[in-house]
């Protein structure tokens, strides 16, 4: 089972021991961030720093000249990843014998939403989500497709993993977050993630819905939730709150919008990439889910991309809907958190790996080599040695 560890350029650059340390885990691949959202990250072994603050979503290499004059364009990183930080780290990792793939975060950028508020998701109350670009808007879609192609196909990369290639909604770790006071549940999260920007209002119209009436229905459905009523039950819960016809019409619009964006982005990456370049999506097999692991239809996405990276922090069960498709040659990679301080269980990695393999995983992803403690990394070494 091929294994890869996620890593940031700032974990590697300036630390001459980092590439060999990563290779010593027993992984064959490094999945290296080329375009990433804002974050505050620990670097527990770096000789020069312990905390890196990436202030905004940025590309970690010099963007190409083709962005000149375009209102929506990627931001260059600040001093946390200056110059061609990705290229420098990639060369060092390759020098340690690791195959390097790019890690590209797409529809997730608070700075884009702050500077271009019209690009953001707008909920049924009129609140904007600046971290969540609306993927239905033509200009935003064009930006995301071009960003995917450029950030994915960096020199020497053998493949890419595309994160956030779909809808982003309410759920988002934000600075000093204060949104946990009401348990929205799966259904409430969906209703609070429905977008009512002009493009989406037109989209609902194409599904036979009046956007104003739909927004009023969403607000009405959420009133009991704000008072403490449960809103769980998966998609059946959404249908209960919103009504079956309305719920399915919104899902038809959103699913179709995400599918066509995913098709366009993967096609653009392949057009820019050399022969044999691998294209994977970070994906959730429930198509109405939002976030970094984009909700997808398993059969559709495995007909578009070379495979998926599936979140398994809560167990490997989400692998099964993809494995059930029986697509020959499709990559199913189980993404396991190995940072104990972030809820991971590196001590159970061998057992988790075996269960993921049983459910169809052929590859392993480890989140995250740069953030993990020395003890976590030693547990990873032991587990991978027993593969």
**376: CATH:** 3.20.20.80
**pLDDT single digits (tens) 300-340:** 999 999 999 999 998 999 999 999 999 999 999 999 999 99
Query: Is 184 inside a domain boundary?
Result: no
58-59 and 128-133: which strand pairing? Answer: unpaired
Query: Is 229 inside a domain boundary?
Result: no
Query: Is 241 inside a domain boundary?
Result: no
Query: Is 128 inside a domain boundary?
Result: yes
Query: Is 96 inside a domain boundary?
Result: yes
State the angle between helix axes of 244-272 and 138-152 in degrees (0 to 180), rounded to the nearest 10.
40
First to last CA, the chain: 7
Whole-angstrom distance, CA of residue 13 vs CA of residue 92: 8
Query: Is 72 inside a domain boundary?
Result: yes
Q: Are the C-beta atoms of 22 and 98 separated by less than 8 Å?
A: yes
pLDDT of 177 > 90? The answer is no
- The tokens describing 143, both together, are 């930006």
- The tokens describing 31, both together, are 């999945």
Q: Are the C-beta atoms of 2 and 356 separated by less than 8 Å?
A: no
**pLDDT single digits (tens) 120-164:** 999 999 999 999 999 999 999 999 999 999 999 999 999 999 999
Query: Is 246 inside a domain boundary?
Result: no
**pLDDT single digits (tens) 193-250:** 999 999 999 999 999 999 999 999 999 999 999 998 888 889 999 999 999 999 999 9
Whole-angstrom distance, CA of residue 241 vs CA of residue 257: 23
**83's torsion region: left (phi>0), alpha (psi -120 to 50) or beta?**
left
Query: Is 220 inside a domain boundary?
Result: no
Phi, psi of 271 (to 5 degrees): -65, -30
* Domain assignment of residue 83, given as a range: 2-174+258-385
Domain count along the chain: 1
- The tokens describing 359, both together, are 């459910």
pTM: 0.97
């Amino acid at each position: 089972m091929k294994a890869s560890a996620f890593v940031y350029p700032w974990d590697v650059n300036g630390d001459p021991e980092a590439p060999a340390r990563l290779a010593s885990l027993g992984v064959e691949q490094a999945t290296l961030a080329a375009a990433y959202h804002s974050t505050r990250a620990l670097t527990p072994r770096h000789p020069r720093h312990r905390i890196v603050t990436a202030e905004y979503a940025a590309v970690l290499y010099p963007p190409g000249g083709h962005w000149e004059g375009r209102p929506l364009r990627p931001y260059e990183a600040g001093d946390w990843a200056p110059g061609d930080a990705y290229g420098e780290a990639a060369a060092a990792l390759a020098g340690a014998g690791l195959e390097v793939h790019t890690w590209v975060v797409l529809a997730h950028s608070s700075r884009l939403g702050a500077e271009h508020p019209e690009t953001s998701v707008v909920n049924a109350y009129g609140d904007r989500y600046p971290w969540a670009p609306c993927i239905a808007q033509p200009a935003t879609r064009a930006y995301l497709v071009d960003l995917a192609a450029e950030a994915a196909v960096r020199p020497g990369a053998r493949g890419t993993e595309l994160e956030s290639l779909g809808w982003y909604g309410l759920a988002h770790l934000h600075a000093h977050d204060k949104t946990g006071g009401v348990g929205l549940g799966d259904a409430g999260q969906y209703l609070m993630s429905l977008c009512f920007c002009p493009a989406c209002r037109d989209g609902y119209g194409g599904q036979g819905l009046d956007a104003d009436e739909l927004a009023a229905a969403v607000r009405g459905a959420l009133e009991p939730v704000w008072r403490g009523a449960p809103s769980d039950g998966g998609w059946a819960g959404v249908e209960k709150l919103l009504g079956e016809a309305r719920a399915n019409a919104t899902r038809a619009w959103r699913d179709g919008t995400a599918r066509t964006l995913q098709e366009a982005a993967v096609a653009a990456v392949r057009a820019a990439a050399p022969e044999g370049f691998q294209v994977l999506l970070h994906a959730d097999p429930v198509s109405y889910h939002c976030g970094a692991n984009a909700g997808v239809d398993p059969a559709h996405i495995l007909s578009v991309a070379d495979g998926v990276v599936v979140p398994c922090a809560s167990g490997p069960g989400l692998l099964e809907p993809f494995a059930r498709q029986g697509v020959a040659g499709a990559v199913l990679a189980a993404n396991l958190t190995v940072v104990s301080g972030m809820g991971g269980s590196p001590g159970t990695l061998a057992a988790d790996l075996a269960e993921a393999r049983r459910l169809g995983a052929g590859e392993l992803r480890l989140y995250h080599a740069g953030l993990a403690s020395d003890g976590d990394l030693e547990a990873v070494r032991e587990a991978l040695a027993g593969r």
